């Protein structure tokens, strides 16, 4: 190894640390969401860790990409609150739906169909997905920072700036911006450490985590291969499969297209993502996707699979050190998420604002992703509106047949969701 590679490796390691801490909340939040669907949180936490670790390792060695794979926040909500709660499936049946959807996703990813689908997405919508996810991250970060809250007379309102957590988050934001503008290596991670130390020194951290008893690892086998296909011949089963497949495929395309610094790595990254989604269902959790928070590590300088490898190793270490995560306050991570989202929104400059047939579908994606807290809903509205706008302006020839098919499919997804 030449000396020139040492700084690069240091940057990649710091990027992996930053990405991990930005998404580490998933280890706690995902099991809590799945618990509402009946999966024991004390066991699904193992599934969350294993699926994330395996996904990161696949991304590292197969795609050589700085992408962290974890159970998707939107998909786990769909799994629990739509498939289980609203549609009435048991969690074992929901895992079967997840597995079938992931297998379809994998089949598309390993064949030419995956590239054809990705190429069929207009550039304006790809940029919109990136910007929409960025705005979504800004909203998440501001909420974690206690700088915004649910409003009484509006959707959102300013948080209580006297709240110590909000003040800590503002300090973290200032430090993160300072380090970023000064191009300090590992600046985001340093800011996280500083705020974490201050928060713990002032006694402002409230440990809120899932107790992991390693002796219960033996019980984890109850989640392995727990799929129940007894409802496979019902219409509702396949309606759920259709919606979940749409979410998996197009959320993955949007995230990877928006996150990858090197688009030449898209093919293998897409395949690694699809295989991990299959494995996650077998492991007993909702499907994995690329974590939008991967952008935090990419902004930090992550460019290769080493970033993902570090993330995967940290997920495995979480089995032993998860109590320590409870001492990293949301106020420490929130500034990184906010800045990352703002940087992702810079893709807006690539959208043709003067062409309303391109801008309005993109606009729907950008605003509806954060307003509905659902990447899939934003995608559905934007993709359904795009062919309509081309037809309305007499420019239907600009789109291929597949674009119209996708528009109809996403419109059907919205109809299906409205009927639930």
**Residue-wise pLDDT tens digits, 255-266:** 898 889 998 999
Which pLDDT tens digit goes with each residue over 127-148?
Answer: 888 888 889 889 888 988 999 9
Do 109 and 198 fall into the same domain? Answer: yes
In this structure, is residue 112 part of a structural domain?
yes
**CA 41-46-48 angle, 5° bins:** 85
**CA 308-311-317 angle, 5° bins:** 145
Do 375 and 230 fall into the same domain? Answer: no
Do 337 and 361 fall into the same domain? Answer: no
Do 329 and 366 fall into the same domain? Answer: no
Which residues does 333 contact at the CB level (< 8 Å), separation at least 6?
Answer: 21, 22, 24, 25, 144, 192
Q: Once rounded to an integer, what is the mean pLDDT over residues 40-63?
A: 95
Q: For the chain, what is the domain count? A: 2
Do 306 and 241 fall into the same domain? Answer: yes
> In the listed set 343, 367, 385, which residue is the last one of a domain according to the structure?
343
Do 401 and 331 fall into the same domain? Answer: no
Q: Once rounded to an integer, what is the mean pLDDT over residues 274-287?
A: 97
The pLDDT value given to residue 414: 85
Do 268 and 406 fall into the same domain? Answer: no
The pLDDT value given to residue 131: 87
In this structure, is residue 89 part of a structural domain?
yes
Rounded distance between C-alpha atoms, residue 109 and residue 87, angstroms: 28
Rounded distance between C-alpha atoms, residue 233 and residue 218, angstroms: 33
Do 192 and 49 fall into the same domain? Answer: yes
In this structure, is residue 348 part of a structural domain?
no
User: What are the distances in angstroms from CA 52 to CA 18, 135, 139, 224, 228?
Assistant: 16, 24, 24, 15, 23
Look up the domain containing 262 and give its range: 5-343
Which pLDDT tens digit goes with each residue over 222-245?
Answer: 999 999 999 999 988 998 898 889
In this structure, is residue 289 part of a structural domain?
yes
The pLDDT value given to residue 7: 46
Q: Where are the alpha helices (DSSP H) in 202-344?
A: 235-259, 266-283, 294-299, 305-325, 330-344
> In the listed set 289, 319, 343, which residue is the last one of a domain according to the structure?
343
Do 305 and 396 fall into the same domain? Answer: no
Do 53 and 148 fall into the same domain? Answer: yes
In this structure, is residue 54 part of a structural domain?
yes
Most confident of 90-94, 246-250, 332-336, 409-413: 90-94
Do 234 and 255 fall into the same domain? Answer: yes
User: Which has the higher per-residue pLDDT, 416 or 166?
Assistant: 166
The sign of the CA dihedral 352, 357, 363, 365 is: negative
Q: What's the full length of the chain, in residues?
A: 420
Do 376 and 397 fall into the same domain? Answer: yes
The pLDDT value given to residue 109: 95
In this structure, is residue 388 part of a structural domain?
yes
Q: Once rounded to an integer, what is the mean pLDDT over residues 23-43?
A: 87
Q: If pLDDT is split at 50, 70 and 90, which confidence band does 207 have?
A: low
> In the listed set 284, 316, 343, which residue is the last one of a domain according to the structure?
343
In this structure, is residue 137 part of a structural domain?
yes
In this structure, is residue 349 part of a structural domain?
no
**Lowest mean per-residue pLDDT among 95-104, 246-255, 263-272, 362-371:** 246-255
């Amino acid at each position: 190894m030449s000396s020139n590679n040492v700084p690069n490796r240091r940057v990649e390691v710091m990027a992996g640390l930053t990405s991990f801490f930005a998404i580490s909340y998933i280890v706690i939040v995902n099991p809590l969401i799945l618990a509402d669907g009946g999966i024991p949180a004390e066991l699904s936490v193992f599934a969350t860790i294993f699926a994330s670790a395996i996904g990161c390792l696949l991304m590292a060695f197969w795609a050589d990409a700085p992408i962290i794979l974890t159970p998707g926040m939107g998909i786990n909500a769909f799994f629990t609150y739509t498939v289980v709660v609203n549609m009435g499936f048991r969690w074992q049946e929901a895992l079967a739906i997840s597995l079938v959807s992931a297998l379809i996703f994998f089949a598309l990813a390993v064949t030419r169909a995956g590239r054809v689908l990705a190429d069929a997405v207009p550039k304006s919508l790809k940029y919109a997905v990136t910007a929409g996810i960025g705005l979504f991250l800004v909203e998440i970060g501001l909420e974690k920072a206690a700088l915004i809250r649910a409003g009484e007379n509006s959707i959102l309102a300013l948080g209580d700036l006297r709240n110590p957590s909000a003040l800590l988050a503002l300090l973290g934001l200032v430090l993160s911006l300072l380090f970023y503008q000064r191009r300090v290596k590992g600046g985001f991670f340093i800011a996280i450490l500083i705020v974490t130390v201050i928060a713990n020194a002032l006694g402002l951290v409230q440990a809120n985590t899932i107790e992991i008893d390693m002796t219960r690892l033996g019980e984890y086998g109850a989640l392995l291969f727990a799929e129940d296909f007894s409802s496979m011949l019902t219409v509702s089963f396949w309606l759920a499969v259709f919606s979940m497949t749409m979410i998996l495929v197009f959320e993955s395309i949007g995230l990877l297209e928006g996150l990858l610094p090197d688009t030449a790595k898209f093919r293998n990254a897409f395949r690694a993502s699809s295989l991990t989604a299959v494995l996650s269902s077998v492991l007993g959790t909702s499907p994995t996707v690329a974590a939008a928070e991967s952008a935090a590590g990419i902004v930090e300088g992550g460019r290769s699979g080493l970033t993902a490898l570090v993330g995967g190793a940290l997920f495995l270490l979480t089995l032993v050190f998860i109590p320590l995560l409870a001492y990293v306050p949301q106020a420490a991570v929130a500034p990184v998420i906010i800045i990352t989202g703002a940087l992702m929104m810079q893709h807006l400059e690539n959208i043709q604002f003067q062409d309303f047939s391109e801008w309005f579908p993109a606009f729907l994606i950008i605003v509806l992703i954060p307003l509905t807290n659902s990447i899939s809903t934003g995608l559905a509205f934007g993709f359904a509106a795009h062919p309509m706008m081309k037809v309305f302006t007499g420019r239907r020839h600009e789109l291929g047949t597949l674009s119209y098919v996708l528009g109809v499919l996403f419109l059907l997804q919205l109809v299906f969701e409205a009927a639930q």
